[in-house]
Structure 1
Amino acid sequence: MSVSSKTIVIVDDEQRTRQGIHQTLEQWAAGKYRIVTSGNGLEALHTLRAETVHLLITDVRLPEFSGLDLIRSLERDSRRPAIIVISGYAEFDYVQQALRLGAVNYLLKPIDKQELLNAVDEALRLEEERQRYEQLEKIADPVLLELDLQAATLSDPIRRACIYMAEHLHESITMAQTAAHSHLNASYFSVLFKEQSGLSFTEYLHRLRMQRAKELLLHTQLTIAQIGERSGYRTDKYFIKVFKVSEGVSPSRYRQQMRKEPGNID
């Protein structure tokens, strides 16, 4: 997702505050963000339900449908934005509730412009990190993930082999080369690797290459041929064939499908 498509929603029933925040963020963003304002919680909720919002800045106290009600309504929303709450000095109980509900920061009225910009910058960074983490979870190979979690149980030669493969994925890696790097003969290495990882050398390498390819497809603008090469495949034709067998779709189709999902970051 490009930066220009990010949306910030400001919710405050006080027009002066609402417009002041809007003006400050408009000048700061210089067109890089879409900034929407709302005078009440229900109107803001409609916006949040209708489109992807990346940052919500809301007063904790609003008539009819409060800022806390608004935050609670987003509790189980997969597209939940980062949240900054606004409050007066006498409303810290509301702020504490908002922070427990997942708000990342709060601003006290009257709002200092630099504090606002610092809070917004930090909130957007946290939101992007969360999105990236969720994306990595979606594409992570569960077998490799489980093996990573059990890395402490692997012997030093097998750990060295796994590191070696990850660092040389763009090359043509053989079992003999990897075994030699771990100071083992190929036959013994093959048995030991399968015994400790639960995977054959070939299957592990294949999964590692597919994982790298998926990460590059999602997070870079590299061509399919470049991604295939960086994942260790000799030709783009062979890469496309192997990827399709493994994932059920071509690399280009996989990229399209993943980037169409709400909240994805290009």
Structure 2
Amino acid sequence: MNRTILVVDDEPRTREGISKTLEQWAQYSIEVISASTGRDAIKIVSERPIDILITDIRMPEMTGLEVIQLLAEMDVKPIVLIMSAYSDFHYAQEAIRHGVINYLLKPIRKKELIEAVERAIAKKEDQEQGQRLTKVIDLQLLEQADFNNERYEPAIEKALRYIDDHIKEKVSLQDVANAVHLNGSYFSTLFKEEVGINFSEYVTRKRIQSAKHLLLQSDMPISLIAEEVGYQTQKYFNKIFKEYEGVTPGYYRKTYK
């Protein structure tokens, strides 16, 4: 899989040197793009997925740490490498606190740079493997529920159909229990026994699966997708989606569509 690395440094010589070193090392199997300011970096990351960010720690207007903090607020978290001409342990501590995996002191030797990028790529692959595993488990649970549909108690079959038909609405356990004419407590227990996951978990996974389908198969704005799958605000939808998928809806669409 091709990777995209963003190099951010206000010093043209350093920026160009790192880019050239990485392109030659990877034989252009990775895309290296660059920015001279933190603000330019934020703009780039908001427009396209970035796998690895290599940023100077001290820059005019916006520091590397401020860039990382803004990206975290945007729920965008590339693997980050910090570089600096200052051998200051305080900066290293602060960088590590923000999830930076390596702190490189200038001037950076080519071997040191390449080894750091190799570790960053490995970490990115581990993250993606974990996300893929989550997606597989998520999909298997829902497919299993659908596959087993004919073997469920009639009340649970009816409940699953009700959830599908009302996914855009606020679906509570008691609403569904009433629809299938069961006591709420008994229905909750029966649902968990039959489906394998509890009611609220099933509804959330169903909403996320529906959202993923719409993200990839339509051009609907994310705010409308949130409403379509039963979330009243995009902010809350983004939060839940990120918890289950590891990335924001916007990042998911850009990456997988």
Shift in alpha-carbon separation, 1:260–1:84, aligned structure 2, 3 A: closer
Alpha-carbon distance in structure 1 between the residues aligned to 2:11 and 2:58: 11
Q: Following the alignment from structure 1 to structure 2, what is the Cα–Cα distance between the partners of residues 40 and 31?
A: 24
After superposition, where does 1:234-249 map in structure 2 within 5 Å?
Answer: none
Provide the rounded CA distance (Å) in 2 between the counterparts of 1:59 and 1:76: 20
Q: Which amino acid aligns with 1:97?
A: E
Of 62, 65, 79 in structure 2, the residue corresponding to residue 65 of structure 1 is 62
Q: CA deviation at 1:96?
A: 1.5
TM-score (norm 2): 0.55
| Bigger Cα Rg | 1
Query: Size of the alignment, in residue pairs?
Result: 164
User: Is 2:48–2:254's contact at 8 Å kept on the other side of the alignment?
Assistant: no
2: CA distance, partners of 1:8 / 1:107? 16
CA distance in 1, matches of 2:75, 2:138: 21
Cα distance, 1:90 vs structure 2: 3.4
Alpha-carbon distance change, 41 to 96 in structure 1, aligned in 2, over 3 angstroms: same
The amino acid that maps onto 2:24 is Q
Structure 1 residues 264 and 105: CA distance shift in structure 2, 3 A: farther
Q: What is the 5 A alignment of 1:71-150?
A: 71-141=68-138
Supply the distance in 2 between the matched residues of 1:29 and 1:58 (Cα, whole angstroms): 19
1:11 maps onto 2:3 in alignment: no
Using the TM superposition, give the Cα deviation of residue 41 of structure 1 relative to its aligned residue in structure 2, in angstroms.
0.5
Counterpart of 1:261 in structure 2 is 253
Q: 2:87·2:105 contact (CA, 8 Å) conserved in 1?
A: no
Within 1, Cα distance between the matches of 2:73 and 2:40? 19
Instruction: After TM superposition, give the deviation of residue 14 of structure 1 in Å.
Output: 1.2
Superposed displacement of residue 132, structure 1: 2.3
TM-score scaled by length of structure 1? 0.53
On the 8 A contact 1:87/1:95 being kept in 2, the answer is no
Q: Is the 8 A contact 1:135 1:264 kept in 2?
A: no
User: Which residue of the other structure, out of 10, 23, 29, is the alignment partner of 2:20?
Assistant: 23
> Structure 1 regions of 5+ residues with no counterpart?
145-197, 205-246
Give a deviation string over 1:161-186, Cα, whole Å, max 9, x none: xxxxxxxxxxxxxxxxxxxxxxxxxx
Tell me by how many angstroms 1:264 deviates.
Answer: 5.0
Q: How large is the Cα RMSD of the aligned pairs? A: 3.3
User: What is the Cα deviation at residue 108 of structure 1?
Assistant: 0.7
Identical-residue share of aligned pairs (%):
36
Task: Go from structure 1 to structure 2 and tell me whether the alpha carbon gap of 1:263 and 1:133 turns closer, same or farther (over 3 Å shift).
Answer: farther
8 Å CA contact 1:7, 1:36 repeated in 2: yes
Letter in 1 for 2:22: L
Stretches of structure 2 lacking an aligned partner (at least 5 in a row): 142-191, 197-208, 218-244, 246-250
1:107 positional shift: 0.7
